[in-house]
Amino acid sequence: MKKLSLAISKGRILDEALKLLSKSGIQCDESPYDSRKLIFNTNQKNLNIIIVRASDVPIYIESGKVDFGIVGKDTLLESNLANHIRVAKLNIASCKLVVAGLKGTKLKNNMKVATKYPSITKNFFQKLGYPCSVLKLYGSIELAAVLGLADVVVDLVDSGRTLKENGLTQLELIEDISSMLIVNKASYKVNRNQIEKFLTKINI
């Protein structure tokens, strides 16, 4: 059997993904939290775990350098890469991608929209019939709506607490998000049995 490598997004997804794996007895040989390593052996002789930034996961899978990965649906939708198969929805790191703004804001033509997700945002507003201009930001997106740097924002929301504490509200739902397991297309062809065994092992 080939040694497969699994890329996991850093940040929130990593915590929940490691819990999901450890419930099924899959563990890294060192804690990714205490180590500077980027590639970990696991207690499964045919599995490596590679830890990468969320938005880089689809790129590694696209290239085939990594066989499969755990990544947010938000990142997949934004990336526009397609050399993979979405084999499972994992129901971890669940949240929503929404349009948010000051209460009472009405969506209209030509708004300025701040977001980490320019492609999703352009498409969504285009479909509504309100083409917009996008301002790409890298963090604390809500701030742009509070300070009037943008008319509205497109961002991930979980409990809604950040919106609430900053006087913002959800104006539209774009997509329900959770993490997905994606597999490089060629790797899926060659290693299908092994990947299906892995899915069974983690109860998917």
Binding site for ligand ATP (CB under 6 A): 9, 11-13, 53-54, 72, 74-75, 93-95, 156, 158, 177
Q: Rounded to the nearest whole angstrom, what is the least distance from the CB of residue 21 to ligand ATP in the complex?
A: 16
Which of 13, 50 has the CB closer to ligand ATP? 13
Q: Rounded to the nearest whole angstrom, what is the least distance from the CB of residue 57 to ligand ATP in the complex?
A: 9
Of 151, 172, 138, 137, nearest to 102 by C-alpha is: 151
Which of 12, 37 has the CB closer to ligand ATP? 12
Which of 79, 191 has the CB closer to ligand ATP? 79
Q: Rounded to the nearest whole angstrom, what is the least distance from the CB of residue 61 to ligand ATP in the complex?
A: 15
In order, the DSSP letters of the chain are: -PPEEEEEESTHHHHHHHHHHHHTT--BSS-TTT---SEEEBSSTTEEEEEE-GGGHHHHHHHTSSSEEEEEHHHHHHH---SEEEEEE---S-EEEEEEEETTPPP-TT-EEEES-HHHHHHHHHHHT---EEEE-SS-THHHHHTTSSSEEEEEESSSHHHHHTTEEEEEEEEEE-EEEEEEHHHHHHHHHHHHHHHHHTT-
Q: Rounded to the nearest whole angstrom, what is the least distance from the CB of residue 178 to ligand ATP in the complex?
A: 8
For the beta carbon of residue 123, count every other beta carbon within 10 angstroms.
13
Q: Rounded to the nearest whole angstrom, what is the least distance from the CB of residue 157 to ligand ATP in the complex?
A: 7
Which of 93, 183 has the CB closer to ligand ATP? 93
Which of 8, 111 has the CB closer to ligand ATP? 8
